C-alpha cells in the first residue's frame, strides 16, 4: 500500500496574477502558504483476474470498472492515464475539508494522486515536476480554468513567495521567518467557513476573460506581494499586514462583481467591526472560507461576532506532498529539477 499526504493552501496576495493569460505577458507572483489541512490517497495493488473488475476507486462514490474510459471521476481517470496504469489498482480518497471551499483542494488532489501513483510504480518525481504535470493535466487535459499557484503550494509546501514567468517558469522563494515570528503571525489568523460552497471554475473563467480589462488592478495586486513579504520579514507591527489585506480585499472585489455577494460582505463587515484589521475571501470568490487577520486581543470579540460560522484553526508552513507509507522497495529514478528552496523549473 502507498499513502500520500498533500496540503491545502492559503494565499494572501497576488491571486489572479498566476494565470498564464496574465503572467506570460506581464509576470505574476503570489504570497501564500501550505496549511496543516490535507488530502490523503491510498493506493493498493490487487489481482484483478480474481475479481470482476480491474480498477476500484473510492471517494464519495465507489467505482469498479474494467476500462479507464469507464471511470466517471475525471481527475482520477486522467491521472491514471497520465502515468500509464490501467489495471490492478485500488485508490481510496480522503480529505480533512471538502472541495469547493477556496483552499486549492482540487489541485492538491491532483498533485497527491500523481505522487501516490508514481510511488506505486516505484518512481520518484521531483515536487516541481509534480506541480508542472498537475498544471498540464488540469489546464490542457481537463480544460479547467485554473491558475498555477495551487499546484505549486501543494507540491512544495512551506510559506512561499512564488513567481510565475512565461513557460510557465515557477520560482519559489521560501519566506524566512523565525519560529517566534511565525507563531506571532499564526496568532493573527482566524478562518471561518461562509457556509457557501461553489465551483470556482466559472468564476475563474470570467476572470480570465477580463485579464486585459483588469491589467492595472492585477499589477497593483502583484505589488502587494512584495509589500506583504517586506512586512513579514521585517520586525514591525503585523497590523500592517492586515491593513494590506483590506486593500487587497477592495482590489479583488473590483475584478468582478460575482467575487463577493451580500452574505460575504456582511460577514466581512462584522469581522472588521469586531476588531479584524483586514481579511480575505479565499480562492476565486463567491463563497468558501474567509480568513481574517486579527490582533490576539481582539480574537474573542471577532469570534463572538461570527459565532454562527464554523471556525477552522490553521497552522502555516506545512510540508508539501509526501509519501507517508510505502511497504514496497522503491526504484529511485533521477530527479529532473533542482532542489527545493529558491528554485526554478
Q: What is the pLDDT of residues 243-264, one digit of tens each?
A: 999 999 888 776 666 566 888 9
| Domain contains 54 | yes
Express each pLDDT in 129-161 by its tens digit.
999 999 999 999 999 989 999 999 999 999 999
| Domain contains 338 | no
- Give the list of residues 6+ apart from residue 178 with CB closer than 8 angstroms, or none: none
**209 has a pLDDT exceeding 80:** no
| Domain contains 208 | yes
- Report CA torsion sign: 27, 164, 249, 175: negative
Q: Which pLDDT score, from 0 to 100, does residue 200 have? A: 57
What is the pLDDT of the chain when averaged over all its residues? 90
In which band, very low, low, confident or very high, does the pLDDT at 216 lie, cut at 50, 70 and 90?
confident
Query: Which helix or strand (DSSP H or E) is residue 278 part of?
Result: strand 276-281
| Domain contains 122 | yes
List the beta strands (DSSP E) in 132-261: 159-165, 169-174, 189-193
Distances (CA, A) of 77 to 49, 70, 74, 82, 210: 21, 9, 5, 9, 31
How much is the average pLDDT of 100-114? 95
Return the CATH number at 209.
Answer: 3.30.230.120
Output the nine-digit C-alpha cell for 20: 498564464
pTM metric for this prediction = 0.90
Is 4:41 a contact under the CB 8 Å cutoff? yes
Range of the domain at 100: 2-326
Select the highest-mean-pLDDT range: 185-194, 261-270, 323-332.
185-194
In which band, very low, low, confident or very high, does the pLDDT at 340 lie, cut at 50, 70 and 90?
very low
Q: Which pLDDT score, from 0 to 100, does residue 338 have? A: 43
| Domain contains 344 | no
In which band, very low, low, confident or very high, does the pLDDT at 204 lie, cut at 50, 70 and 90?
low
Closest to 21 in 3D by CA, of 197, 147, 181: 147
| Domain contains 153 | yes
| Domain contains 332 | no
Output the nine-digit C-alpha cell for 320: 508539501
| Domain contains 345 | no
Domain count for the chain, please give it: 1
Is 172:152 a contact under the CB 8 Å cutoff? yes
Q: Which pLDDT score, from 0 to 100, does residue 258 have? A: 59
Amino acid at each position: 500500500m502507498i499513502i500520500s499526504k498533500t496540503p491545502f493552501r492559503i494565499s494572501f496576495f497576488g491571486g489572479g496574477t498566476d494565470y498564464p493569460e496574465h503572467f506570460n505577458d506581464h509576470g505574476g507572483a503570489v504570497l501564500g502558504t501550505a496549511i496543516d489541512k490535507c488530502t490523503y490517497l491510498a493506493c493498493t495493488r490487487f489481482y484483478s483476474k480474481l475479481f470482476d473488475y480491474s480498477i476500484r476507486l473510492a471517494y464519495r462514490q465507489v467505482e469498479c470498472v474494467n476500462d479507464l474510459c469507464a471511470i466517471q471521476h475525471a481527475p482520477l481517470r486522467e491521472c491514471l492515464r497520465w502515468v500509464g496504469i490501467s489495471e490492478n489498482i485500488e485508490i481510496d480518497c480522503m480529505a480533512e475539508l471538502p472541495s469547493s471551499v477556496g483552499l486549492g483542494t482540487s489541485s492538491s488532489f491532483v498533485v497527491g494522486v500523481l505522487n501516490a501513483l508514481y510511488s506505486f510504480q516505484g518512481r520518484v518525481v521531483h515536487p516541481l515536476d509534480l506541480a508542472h504535470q498537475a498544471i498540464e493535466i488540469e489546464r490542457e487535459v481537463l480544460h479547467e480554468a485554473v491558475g498555477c499557484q495551487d499546484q505549486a503550494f501543494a507540491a512544495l509546501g512551506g510559506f512561499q513567495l512564488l513567481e510565475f514567468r512565461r513557460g510557465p517558469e515557477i520560482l519559489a522563494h521560501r519566506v524566512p521567518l523565525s519560529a517566534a515570528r511565525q507563531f506571532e503571525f499564526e496568532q493573527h489568523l482566524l478562518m471561518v467557513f461562509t457556509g457557501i460552497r461553489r465551483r470556482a471554475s466559472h468564476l475563474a473563467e470570467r476572470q480570465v476573460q477580463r485579464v486585459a480589462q483588469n491589467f492595472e488592478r492585477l499589477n497593483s495586486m502583484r505589488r502587494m506581494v512584495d509589500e506583504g513579504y517586506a512586512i513579514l520579514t521585517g520586525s514591525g507591527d503585523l497590523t500592517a499586514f492586515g491593513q494590506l489585506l483590506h486593500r487587497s480585499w477592495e482590489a479583488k472585489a473590483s475584478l468582478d462583481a460575482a467575487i463577493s455577494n451580500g452574505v460575504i460582505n456582511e460577514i466581512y463587515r462584522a469581522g472588521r467591526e469586531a476588531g479584524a484589521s483586514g481579511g480575505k475571501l479565499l480562492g476565486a470568490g463567491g463563497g468558501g472560507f474567509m480568513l481574517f487577520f486579527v490582533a490576539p486581543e481582539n480574537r474573542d470579540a471577532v469570534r463572538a461576532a461570527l459565532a454562527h460560522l464554523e471556525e477552522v484553526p490553521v497552522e502555516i508552513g506545512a510540508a508539501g506532498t509526501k509519501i507517508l507509507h510505502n511497504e514496497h522497495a522503491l526504484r529511485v529514478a533521477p530527479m529532473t529539477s533542482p532542489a527545493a528552496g529558491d528554485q526554478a523549473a
